[in-house]
Amino acid sequence: MKVYHGIWDIERALSELKYYKMNDQYCMVTQQFIDTKLVFIDSYEVTP
- Greatest Cα pair distance, the chain, in angstroms, is 41
Q: Indicate the pTM of the whole model.
A: 0.37
What torsion, rounded to 10 degrees, do the Cα atoms 39, 41, 43, 44 define? -150
| Among 10, 48, 45, residue whose Cα is nearest residue 31 | 10
Greater confidence (26 vs 4) lies with 26
Query: Is 1 a residue whose pLDDT tops 70?
Result: no
- Note the pLDDT tens digit of each residue in 8-45: 777 887 777 776 666 666 777 788 988 998 888 999 99
